[in-house]
Each structure stands twice: as C-alpha cells, then as structure tokens.
C-alpha cells in the first residue's frame, strides 16, 4: 500500500473527477489502506459523499466469530461510525451460510455497517445465504465482489479467489444483485505495457490463447474508436446487464485518467459478443475503419 503522501493526491483527483466510492479492506496492507484513507477523510476528504466499501473475515480470520472484531478495527482505522457496504473477503464453505448472515446482520442492526455482501463467494453459496436471510428476516446480501473482466481468470490470483462466469451473470441479473468486480481490467493484461514487465504471478492468471484473442479483438475495437484496448476492456465490464461497479487500482493520476476514459466508450450487443467469441466483424464497426484495421 502506498504512503499517505502518495495516496492523497490520487484520492483528491479521483473525487475531483466525480468518484464517490472507495474499496478498502483490512487485508490491504494489513490495515494500512484503511489508515491512509481514514487520514485522508479527516484532513481533506469530501465528508459523507464518499461511500466506503469495507472487507473483513480474510484468512486466517475467516470465521463469523471474527466479523465483529474486524468491523471494530476497520471503524477505528477509518475514523468513521459506519461502513456503508461491508463484504466478507473470503468464504469458508465448512461454515453454514446462515452463520455468516447472522454475524453480518448483527452488525447492521447495531448501525456499524449499513449493508453487506460477499467477495469471492460462489453463487451457490450466495443462494444459501439468501435462503437463510429470508427465513430469519435478515436484509441479506446486496452485492457480490468476485473477479470479472473481458479476460477470464484461468487460475486463481490468490487462494480462495473466485470469478464470475456466464451462468453466474445470468443469475445475478435475475437476482438483481450488484456486482463489484475486482481486477476489472485484468491487472494490466489489456494495457500497453509489455508482458515481460508485468508481475509474472499475475500474468499467468490471464495469459492463454483465448484471452490473447480477446485482447487482439479489444485492440481492433480500440483502433476504430480511437481509444485504448484497456478502455474497451473496462467498457465491456460496465456494459453488462447487471448493476456493475468495477473496482480499479490506478497507481497514479495518469493511470486514473486512462481508466476514466472508459466511461466514454459505448459498446453495443454485437461488439460485446464479438469481443468474447470472435467471428465476423460486427456491422457497427465502420467498414472503412474495419478495412484499415484488419489490413
């Protein structure tokens, strides 16, 4: 986690550009992220206009018994009375889903968190949690934060990481559950940085033939639209039929500006399908531009 002196200008720029939500977690820098954001909120933040998305119960503290203590520690580091959205950072499938719901609901009823959900949970487990919440009158999960990007995660980035597939997306639409996809830009897979300069541990999670073809197609669309491939990749995430709030991790203001360019990219259904599956070029690509790009 960067120092306060490094992070504060980036947070200032994010808010100045209209950013309203920050993803913080006890596991990020072993609490350093929360401490930095907490200081920024006190010294120069925009007050209550920032939505805080917290996470807890990360291994080795992945149990319902740790939820209350993790919430307390996060509130102290952030210097706030309530976390707007609190997510379980991992799942322990040996623990009944209802016990997780009970622990989170207890925090919501005390007012220390406003709403809750999960990160890196299988949708089958979310269904179990839904059933328990309905049976007890709990508010239940309002969001899921799993990996999702134009590039499929071919192997877990870290132990316990879970992605969203097409069937999961269909269920999320039916359930009307918000998706907060982490690594929504596939950790630089679509960037202009040469692969050998990226972290090999992260690169291996996305580097396969199918994803390389997806990147090539993103580059084609980017060339036609006059943007970057990474803008197309993030626009793909934003264009999904489920309420989607991608998590991004810019390292500086230049990277933030590049990420925000994706907000101006519009992809129709034909382009969305083509980016994933390939095939004939979509009609929405200008014929002259297509001929130029494809050579």
Q: Identify the sign of the CA torsion 113, 133, 165, 224.
A: negative
pLDDT score of 288 more than 60: no
- Predicted pLDDT at 1: 57
Which residue in the block uniquely carries the two structure tokens 């129709």? 268
* CATH number of the domain to which 30 belongs: 3.20.20.100
| 122 lies in some domain | yes
Rounded Cα–Cα distance for residues 13 and 25 (Å): 21
Domain limits at 177?
Answer: 4-202+230-267
Give every CB contact of residue 187 below 8 A, 6+ residues apart in sequence.
Answer: 157, 198, 199, 202, 203, 205, 206
pLDDT digits (tens, 9 = 90+) for 52-100: 999 999 999 999 999 999 999 999 999 999 999 999 999 999 999 999 9
pLDDT digits (tens, 9 = 90+) for 13-35: 999 999 999 999 999 999 999 99
pLDDT digits (tens, 9 = 90+) for 204-242: 899 999 999 999 999 999 999 999 999 999 999 999 999
| Share above pLDDT 70 across residues of the chain, in percent, rounded to a whole number | 95
pLDDT score of 120 more than 50: yes
Region 106-123: mean pLDDT is: 99
The number of distinct structural domains making up the chain is: 1
| 282 lies in some domain | no
| 292 lies in some domain | no
| 225 lies in some domain | no
Report the predicted TM-score, pTM, of the whole model to 2 decimal places.
Answer: 0.93
| 224 lies in some domain | no
| 208 lies in some domain | no
- Predicted pLDDT at 190: 94
Structure tokens at 270: 């034909």
pLDDT score of 281 more than 90: no
pLDDT score of 295 more than 50: no
DSSP character at residue 197: G
Rounded Cα–Cα distance for residues 244 and 267 (Å): 15
- Predicted pLDDT at 93: 97
| 94 lies in some domain | yes
| 58 lies in some domain | yes
Measured distance between the N- and C-terminal CA atoms of the chain, rounded to whole angstroms: 44
pLDDT digits (tens, 9 = 90+) for 132-163: 999 999 999 999 999 999 999 999 999 999 99
- Predicted pLDDT at 229: 97
């Amino acid at each position: 986690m960067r120092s306060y002196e490094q992070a504060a200008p980036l947070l200032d720029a994010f808010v100045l550009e209209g950013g309203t939500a920050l993803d913080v977690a006890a596991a990020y820098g072993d609490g350093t992220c929360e401490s930095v954001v907490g200081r920024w909120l006190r010294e120069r933040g925009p007050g209550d206009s920032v939505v805080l998305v917290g996470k807890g119960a990360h291994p080795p503290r992945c149990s319902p018994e740790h939820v209350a203590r993790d919430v307390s520690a996060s509130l102290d580091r952030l210097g706030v009375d309530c976390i707007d959205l609190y997510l379980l950072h991992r799942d322990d499938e040996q623990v009944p889903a209802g016990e997780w719901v009970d622990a989170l609901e207890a925090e919501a009823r005390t007012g220390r968190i406003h709403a809750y959900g999960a990160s890196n949970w299988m949708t089958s487990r979310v269904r179990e949690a839904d059933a328990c919440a309905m049976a007890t009158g709990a508010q239940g999960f309002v969001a899921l934060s799993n990996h999702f990007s134009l590039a499929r995660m071919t192997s877990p980035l870290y132990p316990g990481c879970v992605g969203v597939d097409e069937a999961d997306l269909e269920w999320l639409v039916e359930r009307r559950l918000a998706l907060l996809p982490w690594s929504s830009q596939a950790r630089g897979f679509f960037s202009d940085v040469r692969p050998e300069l990226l972290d090999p541990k992260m690169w291996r999670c996305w580097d396969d033939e199918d994803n390389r073809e997806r990147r090539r197609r993103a580059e084609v669309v980017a060339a036609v639209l006059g943007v970057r491939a990474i803008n197309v990749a993030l626009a793909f995430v934003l264009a999904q039929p489920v309420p989607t709030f991608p998590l991004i991790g810019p390292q500086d203001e230049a990277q933030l500006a590049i990420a925000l360019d994706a907000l101006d990219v519009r992809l129709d259904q034909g382009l969305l399908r083509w980016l994933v599956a390939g095939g004939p070029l979509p009609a929405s690509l200008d014929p002259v531009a297509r001929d130029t790009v494809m050579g």
